[in-house]
Amino acid sequence: MNRRRRGANARHKEEATAIARNMIQLAVSTAGSDLDLAKEQAALARRIMLKFNVRYSWQLRRFYCHGCKGLILPGVNARVRLGPSKMLLVTCRDCGHVNRKSLRQA
Ligand SMILES: [Zn+2]
């Protein structure tokens, strides 16, 4: 019984991963025309990720601000700069949080 439950959970997780990924991509493409709608889509995707305990690669996580957990997009509501010692600095324009990412040995 235990094993069967785990199998079902894994399947749900896979589905949730695909749905949330699609939703982030949708949010990113929506953001150019309607930022508020895109933010809601991103928030929904984040809720799915939290509910199913899904972790994403940096490629998808970089769209979220660590400070306000909202959607950030370079050129729309985020500023991207290179900092000292090869740090990528993404400043959120909503809350001002600076999201840092080391680019060393990438
Ligand atoms: Zn923020």
Could you state, in order of their start, the residue ranges of all structural domains in the chain?
Answer: 2-102
Q: Which two tokens stand for residue 56?
A: 């994403």
Dump pLDDT digits (tens) for 33-55.
999 999 999 999 999 999 988 88
User: pTM for this one?
Assistant: 0.80
Residues 40-63 as b/e (b if ≥16 CB within 10 A, e otherwise) read: ebbbbbbebbeebebebeeebebb
C-alpha 76 to ligand 1 mean position (Å)? 13
Residue 46 in contact with residue 69, Cβ under 8 Å? yes
pLDDT band for 9, please (50, 70, 90 cuts): confident
C-alpha 69 to ligand 1 mean position (Å)? 6
Residue with tokens 């994403």: 56
